Amino acid sequence: MKRSIAYLGPTGTYAEVAALQWAKYFQQTTGELLDLCPYPSIAQALKATANQETQFTVVPVENSTEGSVSMTLDSLWLLPQLQVHRALVLPISHALISQFPTLQGIEKVYSHPQAIAQCQGWLEHNLPEARLIPTSSTAEALQSLALNLPVGAIASQRAAHLYGLPILAHPINDHPDNCTRFWTLSLEPSPGGSYTSLAFSVPANVPGALLRPLQTFATRGLNLSRIESRPSKKTLGDYLFFVDIEADVIQASVQEALVELRQTTETLKIFGSYTIAALPITV
Amino acid sequence: MKRSIAYLGPTGTYAEVAALQWAKYFQQTTGELLDLCPYPSIAQALKATANQETQFTVVPVENSTEGSVSMTLDSLWLLPQLQVHRALVLPISHALISQFPTLQGIEKVYSHPQAIAQCQGWLEHNLPEARLIPTSSTAEALQSLALNLPVGAIASQRAAHLYGLPILAHPINDHPDNCTRFWTLSLEPSPGGSYTSLAFSVPANVPGALLRPLQTFATRGLNLSRIESRPSKKTLGDYLFFVDIEADVIQASVQEALVELRQTTETLKIFGSYTIAALPITV
């Protein structure tokens, strides 16, 4: 049976580009072709793999302008059986797409909230009067466009080309180095690599409760490339932490750290070890 | 001249309740009445106080279900002259408001993205087919309702009463203890109190760069009640950290910690010391 990968659809999203990259890498390493399966939300894409509807999922984890993708982290905390197979950093360059002939006169701009936030300065300067209307993905925003209607959508140049739609302005993201880190996940064990990701909760209201886990890494010379807190959703002031370590889980120092972590954290979830691939082409 | 407080409007938002609480407290302590000034976004409310259009602003900082309010943190990093005067924890209980007679048949639900996220489970279970449409505030969502139209809005019971609109379901938030922490800010020095908030950036890609600032607090027995990372927006993997310490900035141990922090951080911004007020009534 042909295996498949879930992503936030429809056709034309940045997640689709990440899924295509993974499919290409998978074909190069295994000779197998993958089916691409669009889902209406990140949570549903992750659940599809957890429920064995698809063998892989690709999801955005973090953007350089807007930070962590909360829906991804919150869903992963509830689906710890999913393991990271690879990280991919994708340069993200947004376009203003419209069937209206000029920027002047555009009354509404549709896009995913993350994309709107990444273009906030440009929008305030160029379309200060436009109403900003969030959609569930950048590609979905294109469905709101129609001939001569004074509405625009923020999506990739690739999406504009796929749907045969005109670009009024590009690039419109406020930070030129705008990029997003994606993870490919699966129920299969992670392949190993120079990055290990994990998440843990610490006992609430215990002085220095977070310091001990951090010292566990530091005393072993393990560098943290990222630390992110999310609310436990139980009570204000009670958090989960998502941490990326620059080391492989098979290293003795990481194994020792994990033994110690199990004693100082309440719940510990390990998402595996993997490598990071950088995609040089901006989409 | 009568002084004023900015908040995310229009009338009927949770931020308005927080602004009313501050106005009441201000009147009790100074005898002065405050004008309430609604603004269309959190960023614009903060800028109003930074530009001396209003003397105070009240903004949401963190929700127990959805976590930090990125727009507040990102705006404050750019407006460090604003000082925290008081924190207020407001229990948040959402209602589904509509002029349509039944839940069955509702096709669209409008609300602020934070409110939609706080009711996600309820929406998936009760209105799985409804399209979720984000608005810039919960009160603004009510403007999309009309007689017999199959659309709903998520806002407070108070907002429904203010606008004379029927409630179809309440409470609809997934977590019963859902609450939001608000800050009142001003250009005046903060009054002092048992909490100190600050933000700092650390040199990028230096092993243990985050550990040193955390040890600065721990070795002095200073408890951190919160640590939150935000992207610096320069490059992926480069962060700012927002930290709350359970101590007053005038304490010798905090003063010592700040001297040490200036050496181990790149940029350090201190938002002052203040007390936290809890509001027992759910709105």
Cis bond before residue B40 (omega within 30° of 0): no
Please name the amino acid found at residue A199. A
Task: Based on the fold, state whether residues A106 and A60 are members of the same structural domain.
Answer: no
Residue B94 backbone dihedrals phi, psi, to 5 degrees = -95, 150
Asked whether the beta carbons of residue A175 and residue B234 sit closer than 8 angstroms, the reply is yes
Asked whether the beta carbons of residue A236 and residue B211 sit closer than 8 angstroms, the reply is no
* pLDDT over 90 at B281, yes or no: no
Q: If pLDDT is split at 50, 70 and 90, which confidence band does A280 have? A: low
- Rounded to the nearest angstrom, the minimum Cα separation between B114 and chain A is 11
- Rounded to the nearest angstrom, the minimum Cα separation between B36 and chain A is 24
Which residues 173-232 of A are in CB contact (within 8 Å) with B?
A: 174-175, 177, 179, 181, 207-208, 210-211, 214-215, 217-218, 221, 223-231
Asked whether the beta carbons of residue A210 and residue B214 sit closer than 8 angstroms, the reply is yes
Please report whether residue B237 resides in a domain.
yes
pLDDT at B105: 95
Asked whether the beta carbons of residue B89 and residue A236 sit closer than 8 angstroms, the reply is yes
Which residues 5-44 of A are in CB contact (within 8 Å) with B?
A: none
Asked whether the beta carbons of residue B64 and residue A231 sit closer than 8 angstroms, the reply is yes
Task: Based on the fold, state whether residues A119 and A57 are members of the same structural domain.
Answer: no
Residue A147 backbone dihedrals phi, psi, to 5 degrees = -55, 125
Alpha-carbon dihedral sign for residues B112, B117, B123, B129: positive
Chain B positions touching A207 (Cβ under 8 A) are 221, 223
B149 lies within 8 A of chain A by CB: no
Task: Based on the fold, state whether residues B61 and B186 are members of the same structural domain.
Answer: yes
Please report whether residue B278 resides in a domain.
no
Radius of gyration of chain B (CA): 20
Distance CA A211, CA B215 (A): 7
Please report whether residue B281 resides in a domain.
no
Asked whether the beta carbons of residue B70 and residue A67 sit closer than 8 angstroms, the reply is yes
Please report whether residue A237 resides in a domain.
yes
Find where tokens 């069937």 sit.
A99
User: Testing the interface with A: which of B124, B229, B235, B264 to mutate, by most A Cβ within 10 A?
Assistant: B229
pLDDT at B207: 67
Find where tokens 């379309």 sit.
A127
Distance CA A37, CA A9 (A): 8
B203 and B106 Cβ atoms separated by less than 8 Å: no
pLDDT at A16: 96
Range of the domain at B206: 195-273
- Rounded to the nearest angstrom, the minimum Cα separation between A128 and chain B is 12
Task: Based on the fold, state whether residues B30 and B152 are members of the same structural domain.
Answer: no
Strand partners for A56: A5
A84 and A185 Cβ atoms separated by less than 8 Å: yes
Task: Based on the fold, state whether residues B78 and B99 are members of the same structural domain.
Answer: no
Task: Based on the fold, state whether residues A256 and A221 are members of the same structural domain.
Answer: yes
Q: Mean pLDDT over residues A159-177, rounded?
A: 96
pLDDT tens digit sequence for A7-52: 999 999 999 999 999 999 999 999 999 999 999 989 999 999 999 9
Task: Based on the fold, state whether residues A71 and A103 are members of the same structural domain.
Answer: no
Residue B251, SS3 per DSSP: coil
Please report whether residue B282 resides in a domain.
no
Select from A129, A161, A189 the last residue of a domain.
Answer: A189
ipTM of the complex: 0.78
Q: How many domains, in total, are found in chain A?
A: 3
Q: Count of CB contacts below 8 A, A vs B?
A: 99
Read off the pTM: 0.85
Chain B positions touching A223 (Cβ under 8 A) are 207-208
pLDDT at B99: 96
A235 lies within 8 A of chain B by CB: yes
Q: Mean pLDDT over residues A150-170, rounded?
A: 97
Give the number of other Cβ atoms within 10 Å of residue B280's Cβ: 5
Asked whether the beta carbons of residue B229 and residue A134 sit closer than 8 angstroms, the reply is no
pLDDT at A87: 96
What is each CA distance from B195 to A66, A205, B78, B265, in whole angstroms?
27, 14, 21, 21
Distance CA A43, CA A82 (A): 13
pLDDT at A233: 85
Please report whether residue A174 resides in a domain.
no
Please report whether residue A281 resides in a domain.
no
DSSP string, B160-181: HHHTT--EEES---SSTT-EEE
Task: Based on the fold, state whether residues A130 and A31 are members of the same structural domain.
Answer: no
- Residue among B224, B226, B233 whose CB faces A64 most closely: B233
Select from A134, A169, A204 the last residue of a domain.
Answer: A169
Task: Based on the fold, state whether residues A77 and A200 are members of the same structural domain.
Answer: no
Residue burial B80-97, b: 16+ Cβ < 10 Å; e: rest: eebbbbbbbbbbbbbbbb
Please report whether residue A253 resides in a domain.
yes
pLDDT at A99: 96
What is each CA distance from A265 to A11, A261, A262, A270, in whole angstroms?
41, 6, 6, 13
CATH classification at residue B217? 3.30.70.260
pLDDT tens digit sequence for B110-119: 999 889 999 9
- Residue among B113, B175, B229 whose CB faces A113 most closely: B113
User: For the CA atoms of A124, A130, A135, A137, what is the dihedral angle to 10 degrees?
Assistant: -50
A200 and A240 Cβ atoms separated by less than 8 Å: yes
Mean pLDDT of chain A: 92
Task: Based on the fold, state whether residues B22 and B57 are members of the same structural domain.
Answer: yes
Distance CA A255, CA A196 (A): 11
Comparing alpha-carbon positions, the chain A residue that sits nearest to B213 is A211
pLDDT at B10: 93
Asked whether the beta carbons of residue A62 and residue B236 sit closer than 8 angstroms, the reply is yes
CATH classification at residue B116? 3.40.190.10
- Rounded to the nearest angstrom, the minimum Cα separation between B70 and chain A is 8
Asked whether the beta carbons of residue B230 and residue A67 sit closer than 8 angstroms, the reply is yes
Q: If pLDDT is split at 50, 70 and 90, which confidence band does B3 have? A: very high
Task: Based on the fold, state whether residues B13 and B85 are members of the same structural domain.
Answer: yes
Surface-to-core class of residue B64, CB atoms within 10 Å of its CB (0-12 exposed, 13-18 middle, 19+ buried): buried
* pLDDT over 90 at A237, yes or no: no
Query: Which among B103, B75, B230 has a CA at the least distance from the CA of B168?
Result: B103
pLDDT tens digit sequence for B64-78: 988 999 989 999 999
Q: Where are the alpha helices (DSSP H) in chain A?
A: 14-30, 42-50, 70-78, 113-118, 120-126, 138-141, 157-162, 211-218, 252-264
Chain A positions touching B231 (Cβ under 8 A) are 62-67
Task: Based on the fold, state whether residues B71 and B118 are members of the same structural domain.
Answer: no
Asked whether the beta carbons of residue A231 and residue B63 sit closer than 8 angstroms, the reply is yes
The three-point CA angle B128-A66-A191 to 5° equals 80
pLDDT at B79: 93
Find all residues with CB under 8 Å of A183, minimum gap 6, and list them.
A58, A59, A61, A72, A84, A85, A86, A87, A88, A274
Q: Where are the alpha helices (DSSP H) in chain B?
A: 14-30, 42-50, 70-78, 113-118, 120-126, 138-141, 157-162, 211-218, 252-264
